[in-house]
Amino acid sequence: MDERVARAVEESIQQYHDVPGGLLPLLHAVQDALGFVPADAVPGIARALHLSRAEVHGVISFYHNFRGKPAARHVLQICRAESCQAMGARALEAHARMRLGIDYGGTTADGAITLEPVYCLGNCACSPSVRLDDEVHARVDAARLDELLADIGAGAAP
Amino acid sequence: MTARLFLPRDTTAVALGADRVARVLAQEAQRRGLSMDLVRNGSRGLFWLEPLLEVEQDGVRIAFGPLDVAAVPSLCDALATNPLEHPLCLGPVEDIPYLKAQQRLTFARVGRGDPLCLDTYRALNGFAGLQRALRLDSQSIVTAVIASGLRGRGGAAFPAGIKWQTVLDTPGAQKYVVCNADEGDSGTFADRLLMEADPYQLLEGMIIAGLAVGSTKGYVYLRSEYPRAREILTEAIANARVQEYLGNNICGSGKAFDVELRMGAGAYICGEETSMLDSLEGKRGMVRAKPPVPAIAGLFGQPTVVNNVLTLAAVTTVLEKGSEFYRDFGVGRSRGTLAVQLAGNIRRGGLVELAYGASLRQLVDEFGGGTYSGRAMRAIQVGGPLGAYLPESHWDIPLDYEAFAGIGAMLGHGGVVVFDDTVDMAAQARFALEFCAIESCGKCTPCRLGSVRGVEVMDRIIARESPARNIALLQDLCDTLEAGSLCALGGMTPQPVRSALAWFPEDFS
């Protein structure tokens, strides 16, 4: 474990080890600091919380949000839920995959974008929606998505 | 004179460009030497008009929208001369028919001011319910909630007062109040709007719940897909602590209650109450078998109130205005108001709060104004991903829990997702099963495996392989899911599938 990882994990453990049911906030803290939850963080977390490694791994793998490997500089989430489907999300997904040349869970070769599905951003009155890092965007069609990607200087045309 | 302007800061307004408009407006005002006080309020829920700017003139708030940055210079011109002449002027905001025709109780305060300003909240009757609750004993608060007829707004519609009574009557060393803010259903955003536009109302409802059942500790379980709600709630909780609405001495009463915000991690199933409790305990969000119900053995095994955001918010109205006032809205056993959320392919999407009993058609036509695409409306899914797809022959159904249950549908959390005539109902039925497969917690076999088998069977139906035999097989699988699943995910996934088969058979043959 490199020093930066070790420090982030240790700080998260310090903050949450005695909070009742603190494993989720602890894992969020690790991921907020590092962008992912490294596999070699698991034994230390398990020890501090008096859990088995299997239990900690089980929690990490249960929740869609926790990543086992680093994400790209930007995370693009496309809403796949019904409200967005009714407004053309299926075509938008296809466009994003083609344009970025990756599938869900993938990262572009330049390390700029990780593509993820999301089931509802709660922005359903103005579908389709995407989330780029912490910003939600409404009424996104293929052209608007290209603009958003251009704004962050990512996703060269195929 | 300083002009007072209001521009929302909630997720949807910002997703439509409100922050950009705010920036350009500030620059333009500075360039012109205009003195301007721009308040970032919450949205009124008229999302089809966002970004919606309100300008206070002689005590009346004049609305302009939907704004984009290009309209800002002409708007500034108009503000200096005759605002009512501007092409985007909508007149007094409270006279916009979409808003005026609503019966706003829970959402009466949204959009009126800075959501984080406690003075604004108090000036708009905030904490009146809490002040009344502080003068009552626990049983009287619970009795008031029972008498109001308030039912859970998360979807299951269980009588809130009965749940509270159970928690009050069950001894426990540390009882809990858990707010379910894991609003995962597609087509729903009412919880988010309330948390972003009127967060103190939720905190007030939770404090009242704590006083009612004898709990000093509350949790808000918020979904991670709502970063802005997180930001606003975090600040609201901190402000409420400073002014002693939370803490060891609520409003000087000597009574204690505090709230901790917890984030989910992208699991739909954690909206199911027992799975949420496991998640709060730091575990995988696995559904628990009931009994025992959470009111008897909930979080960390203690008696626990688990209520949706809107249920807790509604309690403030019940306490402030009385049980009878609240009960007088609605029909049958559905009392009070329902926050309908118009979504999907709809021209005027947004939040519509009405007494129960209005028809679905009234909602999508009179408020919604038809489809966004302008094409014919074909199917409406009510109640989220586990709700039925309704064909036009059922659109006159009143919004009432029992009426929906009577036709094999559900009202759920009030999400209304409209589809036009380009929808392929076989694809929608397949999606329902795929969603169940992705989101199943894996505890019970019908849901864990049945959903996967269901997708396979649907793929054969879509490929037109022995359709009659495969449809019979799918129906049989739906029976198993319905009868053999532990919770609503497996138990109700058949609803969208069966409704699509029954009411849109032409898409399957």
pLDDT in tens, B154-179: 999 999 999 999 999 999 999 999 99
| List of chain A residues whose C-beta atoms are within 8 Å of the C-beta of residue B343 | 83, 124-125, 127
B350 contacts A120? CB cut-off 8 A: no
H or E element at residue B416: strand B415-420
A82 contacts B47? CB cut-off 8 A: no
pLDDT in tens, B200-243: 999 999 999 999 999 999 999 999 999 999 999 999 999 999 99
Q: Residue B3: pLDDT band by 50, 70, 90 thresholds?
A: confident
Position A24 scores a pLDDT of 98
Structural domains in chain B, sorted by start: 3-100 (3.40.30.10), 118-327 (3.40.50.11540), 330-420 (3.10.20.600), 425-508 (1.20.1440.230)
| List of chain A residues whose C-beta atoms are within 8 Å of the C-beta of residue B280 | 21, 24
DSSP string over A28-90? HHHHHHHSS--GGGHHHHHHHHT--HHHHHHHHHHSTT--SS---SEEEEEE-SHHHHTTTHH
Query: What are the residue ranges spanned by the domains of chain A?
Result: 3-62, 74-151
A125 contacts B189? CB cut-off 8 A: yes
Position B19 scores a pLDDT of 98
pLDDT in tens, B65-88: 999 999 999 999 999 889 999 999
For residue B229, give the chain A residue with the closest CA. Answer: A122
Alpha-carbon span B169 to B164, nearest angstrom: 9
Position B345 scores a pLDDT of 98
The conformational region for residue B334 under phi > 0 = left, psi -120 to 50 = alpha, else beta, is: beta
Mean local confidence (pLDDT), B433-454: 97
Q: Residue B196: pLDDT band by 50, 70, 90 thresholds?
A: very high
Between chain A and chain B, how many beta carbons pairs sit less than 8 Å apart? 151
Position A2 scores a pLDDT of 87
Position A158 scores a pLDDT of 43
> The whole model's pTM is what?
0.97
The whole-angstrom distance between residue A17's C-alpha and the CA centroid of its chain comes to 24
| List of chain A residues whose C-beta atoms are within 8 Å of the C-beta of residue B344 | 82-83, 86-87, 124, 127
User: How many residues comprise chain B?
Assistant: 509
DSSP B362: I
| List of chain A residues whose C-beta atoms are within 8 Å of the C-beta of residue B191 | 122
Mean local confidence (pLDDT), B38-54: 98
Position B318 scores a pLDDT of 98
Do B387 and B496 contact (CB within 8 A), yes or no? yes
Backbone angles phi, psi at B344, to 5 degrees: 80, -140
Q: Residue B2: pLDDT band by 50, 70, 90 thresholds?
A: confident
The whole-angstrom distance between residue B276's C-alpha and the CA centroid of its chain comes to 17
Mapped to the 3 state alphabet, what secondary structure does B288-302 carry? Answer: CCCCCCCCCCCHHHC
Position B377 scores a pLDDT of 98
Give the distance from residue B101's alpha carbon to the nearest chain A alpha carbon, in angstroms: 19
Best mutation target among B9, B186, B216 (most A Cβ atoms within 10 Å) is B186
Alpha-carbon span B334 to B317, nearest angstrom: 16
Q: What is the mean pLDDT of chain B?
A: 97
Looking from the CA of B271 toward its CB, the CA atoms found within 13 Å total: 30
Q: Residue B361: pLDDT band by 50, 70, 90 thresholds?
A: very high
Do B23 and B67 contact (CB within 8 A), yes or no? no
A129 contacts B284? CB cut-off 8 A: no
**How many CB atoms sit inside 10 A of residue A149's CB?**
22
- pLDDT tops 90 at residue B127: yes
Position B200 scores a pLDDT of 98
Q: Which stretches of chain A sit within 8 Å of chain B by CB?
A: 20-25, 27-28, 49, 55, 58-59, 62-66, 81-87, 118-127, 129, 131, 134-139
| List of chain B residues whose C-beta atoms are within 8 Å of the C-beta of residue A60 | none
Alpha-carbon span B339 to B11, nearest angstrom: 18
Nearest by Cα to B167 from B177, B182, B180, B155: B177
Q: Residue B1: pLDDT band by 50, 70, 90 thresholds?
A: low
- pLDDT tops 60 at residue B364: yes
Strand segments, DSSP code E, in B74-230 are 89-92, 176-181, 217-222
pLDDT in tens, B313-335: 999 999 999 999 999 999 999 99
Give the CATH number of domain A74-151; options: 3.30.1370.100, 3.40.50.300, 3.40.30.10, 3.40.50.2000. Answer: 3.40.30.10
- pLDDT tops 70 at residue A157: no
DSSP string over B336-353? SEEEEEEEES-TT-EEEE
pLDDT in tens, B233-257: 999 999 999 999 999 999 999 999 9
Q: Among B225, B263, B428, whose Cβ lies nearest the Cβ of A120? A: B225
Q: Calculate what percentage of chain A has a pLDDT beyond 90.
A: 92
Mean local confidence (pLDDT), A94-99: 96
A127 contacts B343? CB cut-off 8 A: yes
- pLDDT tops 60 at residue B284: yes
Alpha-carbon span B215 to B175, nearest angstrom: 5
Position A54 scores a pLDDT of 98
Position B389 scores a pLDDT of 98
